[in-house]
Structure 1
Amino acid sequence: MNRLVGKRPEHEAIYIQVKELILFGEVVPGQPLTIHGLADMIGAGITPVREAMRRLTAEGALAARENRRVEVPVMTPDRLAQIDLVRLTVEPKLAFMAATRDAAAIIQDMERLDARVDQAIKGGDIRGYLEANFRFHFTLYDAAEAPILRRITESLWLQAGPSLRVVCGRYGTSNLKDLHQQAIAALRSGVPQEVADAIEGDIRQGMDFVRQSMDG
């Protein structure tokens, strides 16, 4: 458990643990999940795991099926198109807003996280890549101080994360072009639109990666 999770109330810490299993591809689309199975997986009690699954179902990260089954939803072209549309609308805006604030305070953290992305790509570490990439983006988005947009964005990442994990597992991470340095350079130069453009390009690359795998 990371240090930030450890400082939270138990029910919130368990929610974050389950959420990160989904975000970083530890469970795959179509995989059925049970309260007892998840509780055993993370070493937690039944009650907080049940609450975490309820919250994540409400957020669209899990889907309720017949006979009280819960699973990670399978990505479809229609779902992907909707996620793509909203991500490309909201995330560049968050990046732009962040760049109009005291962006200098986050550049060092973003550089450190981008180095972790590069290291994960070189080493074929898919979980490491997904986690570092998520934290890179959300370090930027948090600086926008726009909690409603941030919450929408995290919900979409939860829905896309498992599918991206499958694609990375099938094709690897070495062919992913790292556009993060472009965003960092624009932040350093103080040009918000260039930051937004870099983030838009990064989003398109990831979503196109998923789309191409579905077409294939």
Structure 2
Amino acid sequence: MKTSRHHTLQDQTYDTLRQWLTIGRFVPGERIKIRHVAAELGVGEMPVRAALQRLAAESALVNVPNCGVTVPLLSKAQFDDVLRVRLILEGEAAELGVPHLTPDDLAALTTLNAQMIAALRGGDPKGYLDANEAFHLILYRAAASPLLLELIETVWLQVGPISNLLFDHAQFAATLNDAHDDLLDAAKAGDAAGVRRAIEADLSHAAIRLRAQCV
């Protein structure tokens, strides 16, 4: 029983840290301090250390000699590669998912879209990123391809830490949700190709700002 609980705690810690990376809780170049993370999560240092090593093995973090585990910096070439892969994976998932969206899914997408608009107007980056992740996950899960979703979430780890930089420029931040309005219209009309185009527009628009922050 003790071993099972310990394993579960490690998994929970890993899942939490993975999600934090995805939504930009940590920033590029930041050193992850095990003691601070353990205190915030209310767990011991061992599950945090194990989770960080798992994330390093996935290239989401980097082990730096004499420094510990840090969030990697993306080069422009790496960002371009990630963007190409995201356009392929997320465009495909979005298009496949449209025919399977239920009325409840469409209602949830509408609610989340409204939350994102409110978060941008209220200057709430965390609120926007949380709602944005939930919005995209509803769409991609509808594709009913666990492998495709797993690949998407793995790629998100590469760009999550720079996502907060989208809000450094207020005028640009105000335009972040534009493609979601088009996506919702297309989804409600059952236009799978239109949803794919909206996803590609969404990713490409955000990339303008994010690429400029890469080294």
**TM > 0.5:** yes
**What is the number of equivalent residue pairs in this alignment?**
206
Change (3 A) 1:28 1:213: closer
- Are 2:56 and 2:62, in contact at CA under 8 Å, matched by a contact in 1? yes
- The one-letter amino acid of 1:180's match is H
Aligned to 1:119: 118
Identify the residue that residue 189 of structure 2 maps to in structure 1: 189
> Which runs of 5 or more structure 2 residues have no equivalent in the other structure?
1-7
SS of residue matched to 1:32: coil
Name the amino acid aligned to 1:194: G
Q: Residue type matched to 1:164 in 2?
A: S
Matches within 5 A, 1:25-64: 25-64=24-63
Q: Which string of whole-angstrom CA distances, capped at 9 and with x for unpartnered residues, describes residues 7-41 of structure 1?
A: xx433322222123222222111011132232123
Q: Which moved more, 1:118-127 or 1:182-191?
A: 182-191
Q: CA deviation at 1:133?
A: 0.8
What one-letter code is carried by the residue in structure 1 that aligns with 2:169?
Y
Partner in structure 2 of residue 6 of structure 1: none
Which letter maps to 2:186? Answer: A
Distance 1:96 1:193 in 2: 6
Deviation at 1:177, TM superposition (A): 4.2
Partner of 1:147: 146
| Counterpart position of 1:201 | 201
Offset of residue 213 of structure 1: 4.2
Q: 1:177 to 1:110 in 2, by over 3 A?
A: closer
Shift of 1:166: 2.6
Query: Which residue of the partner structure matches residue 4 of structure 1?
Result: none
The TM-score, its normalising length taken from structure 2, stands at 0.88
Tell me how far apart the structure 2 counterparts of residues 59 and 111 of structure 1 sit (CA, whole Å).
Answer: 33
TM-score normalised to the size of structure 1? 0.87
Deviation at 1:92, TM superposition (A): 0.6
Q: Is the 8 A contact 2:98 2:192 kept in 1?
A: yes
| CA distance 1:63–1:100, shift in 2 (3 Å) | same
Superimposed CA distance per residue, residues 165-199 of structure 1 (whole angstroms, 9 cap, x where no aligned partner): 1342x213224242112112111111111111111
Mapped to 2, the partners of 1:60 and 1:130 lie a distance apart of: 22
- For 1:102 and 1:127, the matched residues in 2 are separated by 26
